[in-house]
Structure 1
Amino acid sequence: MNTSRQVDTSGVWLVIPLYNEAAVIGDVVTRARSVFPQVVVVDDGSADDGAEVAREAGAVVVRHPVNLGQGAALQTGFEYVRSRPDMEWAVTFDADGQHQTDDVLAMLEKARAEDLQVVFGSRFLDDRTTPSLAKRLVLRAAVGYTNLTTHTRLTDAHNGLRLLRRDVVERIDITQNRMAHASELVEQIGAMDVRYAESPVHILYTDYSRSKGQSLWNSVNILVELILR
């Protein structure tokens, strides 16, 4: 984190879906709150003690009694932050440590400077992120399909790091509980005719994040689910 960087983060809420991430969620919340103090973690029916770890790290925790899927967890998080009168921006942020707060700061600066309502993170706008060639091809196919069906033009439609202004968050209604929610979210934003752009982000692929769903097969499953939804 570049501590010399001065950005007003008031009014920004991070929304973190959580499912069985007790090993890392405490560190993720602690690091995130050092920059963005307002964090809500939506525990999606975890079998471990990740919800309590997140709470001890300072996050607000909302819990699903059973596992419903990441789309449902994001929708619950949006409903929570919509109830907060101080919320001006919501950020979707992963629980496994692959997202960087510096990237969120850059997205926030871009949104304010260009009067944007949505900023999508893209791992394909610079060379910091290095997915395998096979994964890159699958993700590109998903982008092509999403752009064709959602009236948007993105380079990375299935990146989980997004910044949304309050007026957009208030209109989002995710019904796809599983991984197809990412395309549904883009589709809804495209239908709103809002001002959006992309910003380069660095996705950290670690052995841990791959074991939790960042594998090539997970990307293939996203593409299949997207086409069949």
Structure 2
Amino acid sequence: MEGPTDAELARDTWLVVPLYNEATVIRDVVRQARETFPNVVCVDDGSADDSAAEAERGGASVVRHPINLGQGAAIQTGLRFAVEQPGTRFVVTFDADGQHRTEDALAMVRRLQRERLDVVIGSRFLDGRTRPGLLKRIVLKGAVVLQRMTSGLRLTDAHNGLRAMTRDTAARLRITQNRMAHASEIVDQIGSLELRYAEEPVHVIYTDYSRSKGQSLWNSVNILSELIFK
């Protein structure tokens, strides 16, 4: 018996997009994402620009935080929204700045359908498509080592924002770290909940815009410092 088609898998998936001051790109990001995944929820985390309105113009459902709480809080709100929607089977976390590809997200959802997995985590280091700078690579690899020591998970990329998970997994996660430390917290919970996980090679697209919105080396250093001092 054949399994569900890609279109059926995408229809049963919600993309959760944390959103903060991305008015210049979010409409196009949502439109392009919805060519594959019709269900997109953007959590506007107290943006000072027209991010929420632009996301709605792109076709997304929008949930608003009245004040800025941080990316972790936005993801938690989005997960809660997604699991409450009828027919949800899978949930994908997806960045608002255009650095993630829906082709990679769909491949991750296929693995959830095909394999006995609870979560699939994107990795920019499993193939040669993504080319971060040398210093950024060193910092991210250092974060992987520290994360492995705290969580026990053997990952190659512990701080990739592209993740696919089953509905049950999304319902079990409890993100309390609102800033960048939420990524470490998610990995720790995957370990503590003994979830079945795998990594999937993904292509992270670095642009001048995405670097200015959080993909800088300094941001990577902040991640590393949060791992050391958490």
TM-score using structure 1 length: 0.96
- How many angstroms apart in 1 are the aligned matches of 2:168 and 2:6? 25
- Aligned pairs, number: 225
How far did residue 85 of structure 1 move?
2.5
Letter of the 1:65 partner, please give it: P
Matched residue, 1:105: 106
- 1:26-49 CA distances to partner (integer Å, 9 max, x unpaired)? 000000011000000000000000
- How many angstroms apart in 2 are the aligned matches of 1:92 and 1:213? 16
- How many angstroms apart in 1 are the aligned matches of 2:63 and 2:227? 28
Q: Which segments of 5 or more consecutive residues in structure 1 lack a partner in the other structure? A: none
> What is the percent sequence identity of the aligned residues?
62
Letter of the 2:157 partner, please give it: D
- How many angstroms apart in 2 are the aligned matches of 1:7 and 1:189? 28
Give the 5 Å matches for 1:197-216: 197-216=198-217
- How many angstroms apart in 2 are the aligned matches of 1:90 and 1:84? 11
How far did residue 110 of structure 1 move?
1.8
- How many angstroms apart in 2 are the aligned matches of 1:6 and 1:78? 22
The alignment's C-alpha RMSD in Å is 1.1
Matched residue, 2:226: 225
Letter of the 1:123 partner, please give it: R
Q: 1:78 to 1:6 in 2, by over 3 A?
A: closer
Q: Secondary structure at the match of 2:132?
A: coil
Letter of the 1:213 partner, please give it: G
Matched residue, 1:187: 188
How far did residue 116 of structure 1 move?
1.2
Q: Is the 1:7–1:109 Cα contact (8 Å) retained in structure 2?
A: no
Q: Secondary structure at the match of 1:170?
A: helix
- How many angstroms apart in 1 are the aligned matches of 2:117 and 2:11? 17
The reply to whether residue 45 of structure 1 matches residue 38 of structure 2 is: no
- How many angstroms apart in 2 are the aligned matches of 1:82 and 1:119? 17
How far did residue 95 of structure 1 move?
0.1
How far did residue 119 of structure 1 move?
0.2
How far did residue 196 of structure 1 move?
0.8
- How many angstroms apart in 2 are the aligned matches of 1:20 and 1:171? 29
Matched residue, 1:118: 119
Matched residue, 1:130: 131
- How many angstroms apart in 2 are the aligned matches of 1:151 and 1:226? 14
Q: Is the 1:99–1:202 Cα contact (8 Å) retained in structure 2?
A: yes
Matched residue, 1:31: 32
- How many angstroms apart in 2 are the aligned matches of 1:31 and 1:190? 33
Give the 5 Å matches for 1:76-115: 76-115=77-116
Letter of the 2:68 partner, please give it: N
Matched residue, 1:173: 174
How far did residue 82 of structure 1 move?
1.8
How far did residue 87 of structure 1 move?
1.1
How far did residue 10 of structure 1 move?
2.1
Q: Is the 2:112–2:165 Cα contact (8 Å) retained in structure 1?
A: no
- How many angstroms apart in 1 are the aligned matches of 2:82 and 2:112? 19
Q: Secondary structure at the match of 2:165?
A: strand
Letter of the 2:63 partner, please give it: V
- How many angstroms apart in 2 are the aligned matches of 1:198 and 1:209? 23
The reply to whether residue 59 of structure 1 matches residue 55 of structure 2 is: no
Q: Secondary structure at the match of 1:121?
A: strand
How far did residue 7 of structure 1 move?
4.7
- How many angstroms apart in 2 are the aligned matches of 1:112 and 1:190? 21
- How many angstroms apart in 2 are the aligned matches of 1:10 and 1:23? 27
How far did residue 112 of structure 1 move?
1.7
Q: Which segments of 5 or more consecutive residues in structure 2 lack a partner in the other structure? A: none
- 1:101-139 CA distances to partner (integer Å, 9 max, x unpaired)? 000111112222222110000000000000001000000
